[in-house]
Amino acid sequence: MKFIHYLEKITGVSIYPLLSFAIFGLFFLAMLIWVLKADKKTIYDISRIPLD
Amino acid sequence: MQVEQFYYDNRIVKRFAYATALWGIVGMIAGLWVAIQFYAPGAALNFAPTTFGRLRPVHTNAVIFAFVGNCIFTGVYYSLQRLCKARMFSDKLSNIHFWGWQGIIVAAALTLLLGYTTGKEYAELEWPIDIAITLVWVVFGINLFGTIIKRRERHLYVAIWFYIATWVTVAMLHIVNSFEIPVSFLKSYSWYAGVQDALVQWWYGHNAVAFFLTTPILGLMYYFLPKAANRPVYSYRLSIIHFWALIFIYIWAGPHHLLYTALPDWAQSLGTVFSLMLIAPSWGGMLNGLFTLRGAWDKVREDPVLKFFVVAVTCYGMSTFEGPMMSLKSVNAISHFTDWTIAHVHIGGLGWNGFMAFGMLYWLIPRMWGTSLYSKKLATNHFWLGTIGIVIYAVPLYWAGFTQAQMWKTFTEEGQLKFQFLETVTHIVPMYVTRSIGGTLYLIGAFIMIYNLAKTIAKGSFIANEAAEAAPLQKETGHVREYWHRWIERKPMTLLVFSLIVVAIGGALEMVPTFLVKSNVPTIASVKPYTPLELQGRDIYVREGCYTCHSQMVRPFRDEVARYGEYSKAGEFVYDHPFQWGSKRTGPDLAREGGKYPDSWHYNHMMDPRIMSPGSIMPSYSWLLDNKIDTASTPAKIRAMQTLGVPYPKGFDQVANQDLLLQANGIRISLKMDKIETPKDAEIVALIAYLQRLGKDIKASSVAQSPN
């Protein structure tokens, strides 16, 4: 019933945090590239949504 | 294209706004009350529900979940409808959310005052209320996503991303931290023990600050600041980077609450590194807010709403710079367990959260009542009272924290500790007086706001349903290849899943290894489970909120080892469901309390602390002398502990009370020898048994090993 027993039962549990860390890294990088390359007009339009 | 007519629901916004004001006042009064108890212990009224240990959780929970919570819902229900150009998904769900949340607040206040608590900071509410929170949160989620799905605006403005991240992360934090095993209707034990419980708790505690007090308020900032300044946010690109960086980095920073504790060192370092990294997104967000006002600072001079927002965002910047600094181990060695932390959180609470709430209410109420603010002058007076109040609140506490830490660490030339613990407390009492004056000014400001808003409401007429029109969303027929991020931001569910992945990573990476790697918690053979009497005593300790003033964690510093004894080891806490390390030392550490004083000292000290320690600011706990131990609960408690893996022998639950009474009788006899008559089933006996046990196991092992 101890909590850690459930985690221990997952085979190769240590790969998941590493995998998710890599996913995040790539996601963040892609996001950064998108933000820097994004169309000026789109960005301007979205930023005005609260004021419409 | 056919333009659709629809109405924004202002009634639900009004309800949440009223609740914000009401609970704000309640939370602040509770805060002032506990602040006064620091220099006038009599203000505890010698009455269990109004002692510091029970009232302080009422203050923190009321301010966080009632005041700021309702402020978030006010802002979300107002801005979400406008940003989505749609009425809320369901009026019925809005109302269930509203009344459900208020019911939870009332239940929380009552149970906390009556001493029903899990003993985990900012997550003190017992299991039935935890379940109610989960249900109401789901209702809020359905309403939130329902509205987003039926929106008439293609893009999800960045404020909505912050709302989504808030919803999903708070859900995750709440569920993971609230795993507990019920013993009775209003009593449970944390599923985790000791070091693991501490890590989960501070992962939760820190991220409650991040995802309840920060991200939703940033969402409000991204909506209401441009609104009030009537100009778009300084850099929308920056807001996107701000969002993803903030939610990812924040989730890791929790262990900075546990520096120098028995938490494995690698986890502490991880917390420090990510805390330092947090400066970047936090300041990105702050600058984005302040730069929105570039070229419009003349408006700030005129408009009290902008005044509140500017100070709020500035306080956000200050506390998010200070936070990472306090996560440096060398600074933390001084700041932790002192009033420095209290000053730090109040820059955030009073400055950032409070002023964002006030600014938003001053902006919203006139608009929803179709009128102008009753008095700009009063609002400006409120602003100045509040601002001066924050300064008078925080500066003395910084001083107190720094002074006390220095006094704790001062040695005489002979190598002895220079100050008794009590001297370090009485020395800073004047700071506590000043702090409560600052708090009073802030509270008076809030009353002025309520008067001003009531007058505004009286002169306007409420627009329950605000007419609006917009074209429905067309299916996009563009042939141009879209960028993938636009694809995400148009799809709220995808955004939800991505934010969940991002925040789950931090939690998993910190927790999984702590739970799995056995070397993280080296076992100590002499550490044994609590006896039934000690367990009952521990529950009394938790009930009275002793952890709000006393830590149970001796850090490996020369002064702490000299003052309290051997520093704390991870293996000592394996049976502590929940852990009771504490976060503030208004009183001395108790990790090695066992055996320091005779039983009679504790008896007299609980009856009136000032008999044994003249000048002490601890409340009296005279009711413990009369209350009877709830022995009927012993078997269920033992069984719950067995379920959690505490190695009591099989069938021990049936004989536990015999063991309890036997040990209690021993304490009764020891008290009698000091001329104190007490029944053996008085609560004080159980509490003495627990206090006398604290930290003793490890001493037994050193005695056992000494012949070698």
Confidence of residue A4 (pLDDT cuts 50, 70, 90): low
Contact B159 A21 (CB under 8 A): no
Q: What is the pLDDT of residues B44-66, one digit of tens each?
A: 999 999 999 999 999 999 999 99
Contact B512 A1 (CB under 8 A): no
Tell me the average pLDDT across B121-125: 95
Interface with chain B: mutation pick from A21, A49, A52, highest number of B CBs within 10 Å: A49
Q: What is the pLDDT of residue B631?
A: 96
- DSSP code of residue B649: P
The DSSP H or E segment spanning B8 is strand B4-9
Contact A23 B192 (CB under 8 A): no
The candidate with the shortest Cα–Cα distance to B34, out of B61, B53, B52, B58, is: B52
**Residue whose structure tokens are 């066992």:** B594
Cα separation of B287 and B233, whole Å? 10
Q: What is the pLDDT of residues B618-672, one digit of tens each?
A: 999 999 999 999 999 999 999 999 999 999 999 999 999 999 999 999 999 999 9
Q: Distance (Å) from the C-alpha of residue A21 to the closest C-alpha of chain B?
A: 6
Question: Is residue B478 over pLDDT 60?
Answer: no
Structure ipTM over 0.90, yes or no: no
Q: What is the pLDDT of residue B609?
A: 96
Of B157, B248, B502, the CB nearest to A50: B157
Q: Distance (Å) from the C-alpha of residue A11 to the closest C-alpha of chain B?
A: 12
CB–CB of B320/B345 below 8 Å?
Answer: no
Tell me the average pLDDT across B236-243: 93
> DSSP 3-state assignment of B143?
helix
* Alpha carbon separation from B316 to B67, B171, B217, B347, B353 (Å, rounded): 18, 24, 10, 8, 9
Cα separation of B607 and B628, whole Å? 15
Structure tokens, B449: 């706001």
- What is the overall mean pLDDT for chain B? 93
CA pseudo-torsion sign B341, B343, B344, B349: positive
CA pseudo-torsion sign B476, B480, B481, B486: negative
Note which residues in 1-52 of chain A have CB less than 8 A from chain B: 1-4, 7-8, 13-14, 16-17, 20-21, 23-24, 27-28, 30-32, 34-38, 42-51
Residues of A in contact with B245 (CB under 8 A): 28
Tell me the average pLDDT across A27-46: 88
Residues of B in contact with A45 (CB under 8 A): 155
For a pLDDT cut of 70, what percent of chain B falls above it? 94
Interface with chain A: mutation pick from B190, B246, B483, highest number of A CBs within 10 Å: B483
Question: Is residue B501 over pLDDT 80?
Answer: no
Cβ neighbours of A36 (radius 10 Å): 9
